[in-house]
Structure 1
């Protein structure tokens, strides 16, 4: 299937949020509290004429999707991008073309395409600064076969979730990462 076909198969933001039953309220809470800065708004307005669209590979239960999806929606709105959501586990054929480190089905993945369905940029599953933070915390975990590994891992996930929900600097890192990717692809000159 072409990326255009995958896009057409996807759910709108409203359809996606309507079917959510795990992270909906928290995701919408971030969406309602996050705003782009004026410079980002100005850049995104400049690329509106590119008519980019975004395919989002995601799942409701995913903590990274909880924070990244609402920020993407703000970016997409400012750039007038249509967004369609595909549930990862029902769309492995596409997911397996966007593996993290060639092996992991990490989500969310944002595939930016033009009107002809050509891939213009890919983002995800995390902004680099957030990935560094996750790597640092993971390194502190005991060995996977340790009796307290599961408890420590649960503690870590809870801490990340709390940060994702309330730390606005994380939101800014994420939007900066997405917008830097779009700027790096020189979309405003194409």
Structure 2
């Protein structure tokens, strides 16, 4: 596991590099990842707009800001993501804002399709669901915890929808984006900070 994590970190992107990569691929009419389709490019374009908006509007609560500034241990937050993923577009800007508030957190992003070995270590119910935030000890690269692919409320919304309709369709995806809009990133902050508090 450690060598997989080391290799992924060696090949990882900063948040700015990740954003730039997604943007430059869109200019070529492409999305990140092995699969290319009009749908994935369309999702990437929507996500670009979402991330631009979230970078301006996401607020980390005062309590969590204070806690992040007082972290004692040093961490790497390694995120598995892709530009076309709607959940990633909602969550990765929050991870970035939180990490920026602490000198003890180094945020790195690994593209899922470039890191099969890493993704296979962090499956969700057997699926390659993203984004996945892996919390590492900066010095030993020990995995201390993980979060994702969605906060609990968003997860429940999708489970309930699937139970009722049998599929995840465009309506479900729209409902999910509305859930994120109303939640304003608070559930994600809360769940991540619970993990961090336990580690401290």
TM bracket (short chain)? 0.7 to 0.9
Q: Name 1:65's counterpart in structure 2.
A: 88
Q: Deviations over 1:64-94 (max 9, x none)?
A: 1011101111111112311111110111111
Give TM-score scaled by structure 1 length.
0.84
The answer to whether the aligner puts 1:178 opposite 2:192 as a matched pair is yes
In structure 1, stretches of 5+ residues that fail to align are: 145-151
In structure 2, stretches of 5+ residues that fail to align are: 27-43
Whether the 8 Å CA contact 1:3–1:118 is kept in 2: the answer is no
Q: For 2:159 and 2:74, how far apart are their aligned partners in 1?
A: 35
Give, in angstroms, the shift of residue 170 of structure 1.
Answer: 4.7
Q: Name 1:149's counterpart in structure 2.
A: none
4+ aligned runs moved over 6 Å, structure 1: none
Q: Name 2:76's counterpart in structure 1.
A: 53
SS of equivalent to 1:60: coil
Whether the 8 Å CA contact 2:157–2:176 is kept in 1: the answer is no
Deviation larger for 28-37 or 154-163: 154-163
Deviation larger for 114-123 or 50-59: 114-123
Q: Name 1:136's counterpart in structure 2.
A: 160
Give TM-score scaled by structure 2 length.
0.80
Whether the 8 Å CA contact 2:154–2:176 is kept in 1: the answer is no
Equivalent of 1:84, from 69, 92, 108?
Answer: 108
Equivalent of 1:98, from 116, 122, 125?
Answer: 122
Q: For 1:137 and 1:105, how far apart are their aligned partners in 2?
A: 20
Whether the 8 Å CA contact 2:77–2:136 is kept in 1: the answer is yes
Give, in angstroms, the shift of residue 2 of structure 1.
Answer: 4.5
Give, in angstroms, the shift of residue 183 of structure 1.
Answer: 1.2
Give, in angstroms, the shift of residue 42 of structure 1.
Answer: 0.9
SS of equivalent to 2:177: helix
The answer to whether the aligner puts 1:126 opposite 2:126 as a matched pair is no
Equivalent of 2:98, from 75, 86, 102?
Answer: 75
The 5 Å alignment of 1:15-54 reads 15-20=17-22, 21=26, 22=44, 23-47=47-71, 49-54=72-77
Deviation larger for 123-132 or 55-64: 123-132
